[in-house]
Structure 1
Amino acid sequence: MPLDNHAEFKLSITKALGDQLAAALEDLTPAPLTAENIQALRPLPGVYQLHKNDELVYVGKAERSLPRRIEKHFRKISGRTNITLSEMSFTCLYVDEDFGAVAPERLLINKHRGQGEVPWNYNGFGNNDPGKRRDTTEVDAAHFDRAHPIDLEFKLAQLLSDAAGDSDVSLASLLAAAKTSLPYVFRYESSAVFDEIQVPRPPEEITADEVLRLAASHLPTPWQITALPGYVIMYRKAEEYPSARRYYRGTDVVDFPGH
């Protein structure tokens, strides 16, 4: 006769914590992803969820400041096509006790992934600058950058507001201002010659495409600006990139609309 006075028991504290985090977030009402709602948050660490319409698409963490981290996503989405900020909302929890040790965002990702949710956690949405090695690779069809490529018609206001009058500005100043103002990565190789090249001062409102055209038209050969699906690069080499959407070579602009 088999004994029934013993059995195996596996304690899963991490699963219990993940379930508690998910339940606490589910009790919250998603707020529209707006600058005002982000600024209303306290600068504390925590976890957050992004919703596209009614779909939970991304779970993330902020080790220091939730508003700072969520603002990066706000800025990124604002500079993409095939998506609008009006579709987006978010919830968040302040989590400041043993934050690094428990990895709360990983607990949430694992839970929601098992339910077929959080697709943006696995398609490159949370990536920052992927580095030069990524430049020459083909962007997968399921990648966030392929579904929502950068918006080259994004409008920049007062790009060089500190420039005096109608005077020309240095190409170095124009490139630095574009790098700071664009809502996506603009990575370029610097050169002392850019300080010597003068370009017309851009108007108070100008699109990303117009800025890149202006810069490219003053670049010496063989410099090239390339718009990739998720960011822009500029190097002293007229290289071909498999996922290029647009090349800026001097005054010539070559489009690859399918990318």
Structure 2
Amino acid sequence: MLLENHAEFKLSITKALGDQLAAALEDLTPAPLTMGNIRSLRPLPGVYQLYRNDDLVYVGKADKSLPQRVERHLRKISGRRNISLAEMAFTCLYVEEDFGAVAPERLLINKHRGQGEVPWNYNGFGNNDPGKRRDTTEVDAGHFDRQYPINLEYSFPNPIASGPQGAEATLAELLAATKAALPYVFRYESSKTFEDIRVQLPTPHLTADEALRVISEHSPATWQVTALPGYVIMYGKTENYPSGMRYYRSGKVVDA
């Protein structure tokens, strides 16, 4: 009988760490995705998981502050259709030691993707402004922005301070204020002309659609506001986009 006195052994430290992170997160009870719960977090780096109706849909990391990062997701989801914040919950794990070197979120993503989970990872959910070169890209049916497009009926307080003549500002000020108020990207090209155009907003609250109509109505004739599945753009020429949902041209609205 031949006895073997040697064999191969492969040590996967990264897999072991990923399994430990996943186990630590599984011991936590998901909390509703609310500002109150987010503000209870400590401003430390770490990893987090998002759940929709108890299904794990996304794993992410925060290099500096977990509450700051998770709040960005709350804001993003609040401005989307086909989804509600009431469906969402999250868990967090503070990870400080050698955080950048081990890429803990990637370990978790790899583990959960192998189990058919985290469908929002690598699917557009974590993106910020994708950049102008992506404006002409056709968004796939399975992309996060196509499944949960921006909500143009999102309502927010009038971003222009009221004065003796009501809420009045320059178009440049209205653009900047609307960009800050919307829970999704509003990218526009600047123009000195906007600083000379006066705009009035009589209502205390307005929807994104109403604000964009006013902006379009007061913009020069060649300018167009375009609502894409994941964000809004405004440039000084009229054109159609493969994934355009709504166009604002000289105050008129055209749905794609």
Contact 1:160 / 1:202 at 8 angstroms: preserved in 2? no
Question: What is the percent sequence identity of the aligned residues?
Answer: 71
Deviations, residues 135-190 of structure 1 (Å, cap 9, x unaligned): 001000000000000000000113123x4231531000100000000000000000
TM-score normalized by the length of structure 1: 0.96
Is 2:46 the partner of 1:46? yes
CA distance in 2: counterparts of 1:167 and 1:140, whole angstroms: 40
CA distance in 1: counterparts of 2:159 and 2:177, whole angstroms: 6
Deviations, residues 105-157 of structure 1 (Å, cap 9, x unaligned): 00000000000000000211001100011100100000000000000000011
- Supply the AA of the counterpart residue of 1:28: L
What is the aligned partner in structure 2 of residue 84 from structure 1? 84
- Supply the AA of the counterpart residue of 1:78: S
Contact 1:124 / 1:145 at 8 angstroms: preserved in 2? yes
CA distance in 2: counterparts of 1:181 and 1:201, whole angstroms: 15
Over 3 Å counting, the alpha-carbon distance change for 1:185 and 1:167 in structure 2 is closer
The structural deviation recorded for 1:201 is 2.9
- Supply the AA of the counterpart residue of 1:102: V
Over 3 Å counting, the alpha-carbon distance change for 1:237 and 1:99 in structure 2 is same
What is the aligned partner in structure 2 of residue 189 from structure 1? 189
What is the aligned partner in structure 1 of residue 118 from structure 2? 118
SS in 2 for 1:119: coil
Deviations, residues 201-234 of structure 1 (Å, cap 9, x unaligned): 3421000000000000011021000000000000
- Structure 1 segments, 4+ long, off by >4 Å, are none
Note the residue ranges of structure 2 that are not aligned, 5 or more in a row: none
SS in 2 for 1:116: coil
Q: What is the 5 A alignment of 1:69-80? A: 69-80=69-80
TM-score normalized by the length of structure 2: 0.98
What is the aligned partner in structure 2 of residue 64 from structure 1? 64
What is the aligned partner in structure 2 of residue 214 from structure 1? 214
Contact 1:159 / 1:202 at 8 angstroms: preserved in 2? no
Note the residue ranges of structure 1 that are not aligned, 5 or more in a row: none
- Supply the AA of the counterpart residue of 1:9: F
